[in-house]
Amino acid sequence: MFVKAFPSMLTVGNLFLGVIAIIFAFQGDHYVDYAAITVIIGMLLDGLDGRVARMLNAQSEFGKELDSLSDVITFGVAPAFIMYVVSLQDMNWLGILVTASFPICGALRLARFNVQAGVPGYFIGLPITAAGGVLATLALYHKWFSPVVLLLGMLLLAFLMVSNIKYPNFKKVGIPKAAYWITPLIVIVVVGVAIRYPSEFPKIVFLPLALYALYGIKKNVDLSLKKTRKKEVSEEEPLPFD
């Protein structure tokens, strides 16, 4: 019974971290780093629960719905509050609307994922886990970027979640069962580094997450340009009897 419930326990742990991140966010600037770190650790648990469920043959509709509800809190609401606290709260109603738009788009993204068949090996739209990770760590750069830049970045991430842009799906990449013993060690190392370097760690994590988000935009632009070139070539081809 415990074995079957273990994936759901990881999901609940993810949800718990999302709530903790929200609490940290409202404790002042000194705790914002810890709020972002909490979201990052939540990303680790979110990446583990599905893999563990498949390994233990414990997949269920209950676990799927619980995962989506947890993701809305940890990667939708929590990062939005982090950004609101550090930057958007001085924008009055505009900051409130943009803050609300992020978890709303995240919920729409998850609802679409749950009811529509996707493309094998890809996500349609930026996953809320990645979007939330980018936003939570981007908020730590509030001293380097103006509030307008951060607001536009938040809107871009919200749009990418509900877009039709394809992103590689690394969740279903196979991992040998013999390698699962090292997973707790990885989590412990990440947590240890995060505690030792609370200011630098989440800023470093921002870079690969941001590159992943930008990758989808680049691939979509490349595909659009390729289609345009093909159309232009086909229109320029002479007719057989010209």
Residue 178: per-residue pLDDT: 46
Instruction: Using alpha carbons, list the distances in angstroms from residue 178 to 58, 95, 182, 183, 242.
Output: 18, 48, 9, 11, 67
DSSP string over 53-96: HHHTT---HHHHHHHHHHHIIIIIIHHHHHHHHHTGGGGTHHHH
Residue 57: per-residue pLDDT: 74
Residue 195: per-residue pLDDT: 66
Distance CA 23, CA 32 (A): 10
Higher pLDDT, 98 or 218: 98
The tens digit of pLDDT for each residue in 182-205 reads 556 656 666 666 666 666 666 677
- Percent of the chain's residues with pLDDT above 90: 29
Q: Is the pLDDT of residue 49 over 80?
A: no
Q: Model confidence at 164, in pLDDT bands (50, 70, 90)?
A: confident
Higher pLDDT, 1 or 24: 24
Distance CA 4, CA 52 (A): 10
Q: Token digits for 12?
A: 């609940």
Residue 179: per-residue pLDDT: 46
Is residue 163 within 8 Å of 126, Cβ to Cβ?
yes
The tens digit of pLDDT for each residue in 54-113 reads 777 777 778 788 888 999 999 999 999 999 999 898 888 999 999 999 999 999 999 988
> What counts of helices (H) and strands (E) characterise the chain?
9, 2
| Cβ-proximal residues to 87 (8 Å cutoff; 6+ apart), any chain | 95, 139, 142, 147, 150, 151
Which of 156-165, 216-225, 229-238 is predicted least confidently? 229-238
Rg of the Cα trace of the chain?
20
Model pTM?
0.79
